[in-house]
Amino acid sequence: MNHAESIPSLLNFLGAPILVGDPEGRVIYANPAFERAFSLKSEDVRGEPLAGVFGGGGREAILGAVAEVCRCGETVNFRLKEADTGFLGLASPIEAERDRVGVVILLTEEPAADERLLAYQGEISEPLDEALQSLDEILEQTGGRRSEQYRSLVEQGISALERASKWSEELHAALCGRGDKNSPSASLDPVKVVHQVVSRLTGDFERAGVAFQLLAPAQLPAARGHAAMLETALVRLMRHRLAQASAGGYVTLAARAVGHGGTQALLFSVADQPIAEPDSSPVEEHNEQEPRAVRATVAALGGEIYTFEDPALGRVTAIRLEPAPAS
């Protein structure tokens, strides 16, 4: 039986590369998008083993995905790389009258490494921000603002760091150009992000003797923005709090949805939990703002950030992000 005749003509118009294989794992159909993406003609690959269409690691990825589909009869996600392009793959069984008659493979080009680059940019901007703060403190503590010698040297350093920070922010803006807050494709999983933050910081908090608690439900609606940007902002904010905490201190990271319908938002908060007796004096207020790099990242995400003090709760910094558009 020629199953190619049963392939809906709609597949010819889909923008994603598609391959269809028969029960023996041989190609019976390749849509025009596949031909364009891989510079292969449908007639050239028809009858070839599905894995034989690709080389190297791509062959192994397809073999593994098709074998898993045949084993479990369910859709399988996988990745493959062809030349310099990465693809996210979806392999699904084709069934007719409860008999498995083949497999369909959908490939979508993997997004460029913007999130990884954003994470690198965030790591670069963090020490720049710290150095600027340190130089400001030097001016204050040494009386450098009244000393021509100190003021000139330190202000030269501040000027150089501000230039570097400016170009770091330009890089940030360029990387965000493809995924700004109005892009429907820019969305993140809040629960996954906060768990990644915990994974990165648990060791730091343990070594400092500071307790670290995560409060988040098992699921939350998707938020608008890039995951790496939010993760970088939260990690930087948590490290800022850790640097100010004393052994035996307590910091909480929380994520939750607030509001309803059109007013819903995702809220991420970092709270310093004061260790104080009920009858002790109120917690001393801190007037410093969040690290500048954190505020810049939140602004790039299209969100809002604010900090407040409470004698019982301590210092709480909240980041508010819009929910991702419904797909």
Give pLDDT, residue 284: 46
Within the chain, what is the greatest distance between any pair of CA atoms?
90
H-type alpha helices, the chain? 32-38, 42-45, 56-72, 114-141, 148-176, 190-208, 227-244, 292-300
Kindly report, residue by residue over 39-90, the tens digit of the pLDDT.
888 888 889 888 888 877 778 888 888 888 888 888 888 888 776 677 888 8
Kindly report, residue by residue over 111-163, the tens digit of the pLDDT.
655 666 777 777 787 788 778 777 777 776 666 556 666 777 777 787 777 77
Averaged pLDDT, 254-282: 74
Taking alpha carbons only, the member of 80, 126, 130, 124 closest to residue 105 is 80
**Residue 2 or residue 237, greater confidence:** 237
Fold of 180-327: Heat Shock Protein 90 (3.30.565)
Residue 102: strand pairing partners = 94
pTM score, whole prediction: 0.50
Name the residue type at position 159: S
Averaged pLDDT, 202-215: 90
Domain boundaries, the chain: 3-109, 112-179, 180-327
Give pLDDT, residue 57: 73
What is residue 254's three-state secondary structure?
strand
25, 29, 31, 32 alpha-carbon torsion, rounded to 10°: 120
**Residue 130 or residue 209, greater confidence:** 209
Fold of 3-109: Beta-Lactamase (3.30.450)
CA distance 160 to 275: 41
Averaged pLDDT, 30-47: 86
The lowest-confidence range among 101-115, 241-255, 310-324 is 101-115
